[in-house]
Amino acid sequence: MRLRNAWVVLLPLAAFACGGSQETSNKSAEPSAPAATPGALKVDTAVAGTVKGVVNFEGTAPKNEAIKMNADPVCVKQNKDPQFQETYMVADDGKTLGNVFVYVKDGLGNYIFDTPTTPAKIDQQNCRYHPHVFGIRVNQPLEIVNSDPTLHNIHAMPKGNAEFNNG
């Protein structure tokens, strides 16, 4: 199998719920900000372009593993049908891959974007995280919502910042 035609970043947030890991962490969740770019020019979003693309998948995608929701009776009740991970979300055409994040890695020269003030949001609905993949910038607020009538935890294990596990 091979991904082509785009840079792909899978969500750096590994989240486990209902039957997943229940570890706790006392580490600080303060983000590590990148070094400021001296003399950087701010991008004028009114005249900036948009990056759009499609990520194609070649080969046969592995089957997604089942999600065990039996740790919470509310989740079992809300999900009568078996639920599966969303690791490989391939469209009916057999090649368009979902749950990917496409970004511009370099080539902006001395330009930077302002950090968004609108929070990135992840919501627990029907015992599943929505959206499954999203982008968030350093110092951008993160809103974690639980729309289910039961307690969930979200366990983030980022590469460059402190792990957290909150109910």
Token duo for residue 137: 């910038």
Task: Spell out the per-residue pLDDT of the chain, length 167, in tens.
Answer: 333 333 333 333 333 344 343 333 344 445 445 555 678 899 998 998 888 888 999 999 999 999 999 999 999 999 999 999 999 999 999 899 999 888 888 888 899 989 999 999 999 999 999 999 999 998 999 999 999 999 998 898 988 889 999 98
* Residue 160, φ and ψ in degrees, nearest 5: -110, 0
Are the CB atoms for 162 and 30 separated by under 8 Å? Answer: yes
The region, left, alpha or beta by phi > 0 then psi within -120 to 50, assigned to residue 94 is: left
Query: Can you give the pLDDT at residue 116?
Result: 94
Place of tokens 């009916």: 92
Helices (H), the chain: 73-78
